Amino acid sequence: MNNNIIIGTRDSQLALWQTEWVKSHLQHHLPELQFETEEVKTIGDRILDIPLSDIGDKGLFTKELDVALLQNRIDLAVHSLKDLPTILPDGLTIGAITERWDVRDAFISKHGKNLAELPENTVIATGSLRRKAQLLNYRRDFKMVDIRGNLNTRFRKFDDSNWDGMILAVAGIERLGWADRISEKISMDVMLPAVGQGSFAVVCRENDSRILEIIRNINHRPSEIAATAERAMLRTLEGGCHVPIGAFAQVSGQQLHISGCVASLDGSRLLRTEMDASITNAEHTGFTLAKELLKMGAGEILAEISKNEAQSK
């Protein structure tokens, strides 16, 4: 039996941090195994001069790792769960979802202010349509600019710019030890996170029972249940990673609470609802929440976004 396990990962500092976390925790459970890292550059890492939403691919940060798995060049791949499409390629499955970190988004200010204290027409950078739409719903006077790249690149661009603020995920900032840059952890009353934000997913071949058994050692069941509900909501809305959809599900005992939202790109419309259910019905709960959002008019918002995207290409 081969005791050498190859873990595929993107080559950004945050991706490598996540992979080292997975490697060390698997090594703790299975000290007899050897884990190696294989770095892969994805299309989302290579194309940095245009917004993600303009590239139009749901596997921007995953496709090359999927191919490596299907070609048996790696045994498992580590992803930020929020980057993972809701439908994986045939032959692949999520083997584990790690315990969720802080799910909120962070506001980084050059002037030490929080969102409520900012003057009119403040310029804020974000690469996320979800963040942009919810922030404009909160304050229509904000001026939004696009920013791309890994965390190191974004901080460098921000520090060299005349922008006033920037929005990033709390989890990534804290994992890399930069918590002191956070001016405010944004309330979820203002901004719901991306589906799966705060966890990472370990993907493998669905017929590889040995690897599946290995990586289940680091699965966190409450986070898996929450992710199942959120991803079912996103899948039902037929939204990818780059549409203004937010969600947050949380397990408490045997109960699951989920909130979800869909917003127009300019923030003029924001539909939001929530519900409670048993943890045994996580997927159906996400589906039901999505259907409720569609009844409220989410379909029209998403159709308008798709139409605008098609016209801009």
Q: Is residue 172 pLDDT above 80, yes or no?
A: yes
The stretch 272-276 carries a mean pLDDT of 98
229 lies in the same domain as 206: no
- Residue at 190 is within a domain: no
Per residue in 223-269, pLDDT tens? Answer: 999 999 999 999 999 866 568 999 999 999 999 999 999 999 999 99
203 lies in the same domain as 61: yes
Please tell me the predicted confidence (pLDDT) of residue 312. 65
Q: Is residue 214 pLDDT above 90, yes or no?
A: yes
- Band the pLDDT of 148: cuts 50, 70, 90: confident
Whole-number Å distance between alpha carbons of 99 and 199: 6
Which listed residue (83, 105, 164, 208) is catalytic?
A: 83
Please tell me the predicted confidence (pLDDT) of residue 49. 46
17 lies in the same domain as 110: no
Per residue in 7-56, pLDDT tens? Answer: 999 988 999 999 999 999 999 999 999 999 999 876 555 554 455 444 45
Per residue in 96-120, pLDDT tens? Answer: 999 999 999 999 999 999 999 999 9
- Residue at 166 is within a domain: yes
The single-letter DSSP state of residue 82 is G
Give the predicted TM-score (pTM) of the model.
0.92
**Region for residue 253 given its phi and psi (left: phi exceeds 0; alpha: psi -120 to 50; beta: otherwise):** left
- Residue at 192 is within a domain: no
- Band the pLDDT of 307: cuts 50, 70, 90: confident
Q: Is 228 in a helix, a strand, or coil?
A: helix
Per residue in 190-199, pLDDT tens? Answer: 999 999 999 9
CATH number for 251: 3.30.160.40
> What's the distance, CA 30 to chain centroid?
29
What domain range includes position 235? 221-313
CATH number for 150: 3.40.190.10
State how many domains the chain has: 3
- Residue at 125 is within a domain: yes
- Residue at 191 is within a domain: no
* Joined tokens for residue 308: 């605008």
90 lies in the same domain as 139: no
Please tell me the predicted confidence (pLDDT) of residue 48. 47
Residue 158: name the closest of 115, 108, 106, 119 by CA.
108
Residue 9: name the closest of 57, 34, 45 by CA.
45
- Residue at 283 is within a domain: yes
212 lies in the same domain as 271: no
* Joined tokens for residue 53: 């939403």
Whole-number Å distance between alpha carbons of 35 and 24: 9
Kindly report the three-state secondary structure assignment for every residue of 242-275. Answer: CCCEEEEEEEECCEEEEEEEEECCCCCCEEEEEE
Last residue of a domain, one of 185, 211, 244: 185
93 lies in the same domain as 208: yes
69 lies in the same domain as 117: no
Residues 287-305, buried b or exposed e (16+ Cβ, 10 A)?
A: bbbbebbbeeebeebbeeb
93 lies in the same domain as 3: yes
60 lies in the same domain as 205: yes
Whole-number Å distance between alpha carbons of 152 and 135: 23
The stretch 173-191 carries a mean pLDDT of 97
Contact 190, 106 (CB under 8 A): no
Whole-number Å distance between alpha carbons of 158 and 64: 29
CB atoms within 10 A of CB 108: 22
241 lies in the same domain as 310: yes
91 lies in the same domain as 118: no
- Residue at 137 is within a domain: yes
Whole-number Å distance between alpha carbons of 18 and 21: 5
Whole-number Å distance between alpha carbons of 77 and 202: 6
Contact 164, 109 (CB under 8 A): yes
Annotation says 160 is catalytic: no
227 lies in the same domain as 244: yes
- Residue at 135 is within a domain: yes
Per residue in 277-286, pLDDT tens? Answer: 999 999 999 9
